[in-house]
Amino acid sequence: MPNACQRCGACCALYKVTLQCSETSDQPGGTVPLELTVHCGVHSRVMKGTERFRKKRCIALSGNIGDNVTCLLYGQRPVACRDFLAGWEIANGDNPLCDRARAIYGMVPFRSF
């Protein structure tokens, strides 16, 4: 199946993306560029742009939502992003958060919720 995320991007412009401080580039083994994150509590940070109350959009998301998007950090993205399963790639289940994000941006959910 083609990667439907490349024509979506809704979750990257709806949810707060939190990461451990240990995931940023200033830490040994950290991959996420520190400058693309902001503080969120003592032990965590947030992807810039997703800390907003309204109009969240991750700073690493390039392109037009629902059309053609790219994660500019794909190989270095936070654990939360790696763990977020897309509805189209789940064989025996679904991800209501994926479907919800798509629905909010006017895209067909992979399953009804």
Residue ranges that bind ligand SF4, judged by CB under 6 A:
4-5, 8-12, 17, 47, 58, 60-61, 71, 73, 77, 81, 84, 86-87, 98, 101-102
Nearest approach, Cβ of residue 41 and ligand SF4 (Å): 19
Nearest approach, Cβ of residue 11 and ligand SF4 (Å): 3
Instruction: Give the gyration radius of the chain's Cα atoms.
Output: 14
Indicate the residue among 45 and 58 with the shorter CB distance to ligand SF4. 58
Indicate the residue among 29 and 51 with the shorter CB distance to ligand SF4. 51
Nearest approach, Cβ of residue 92 and ligand SF4 (Å): 17
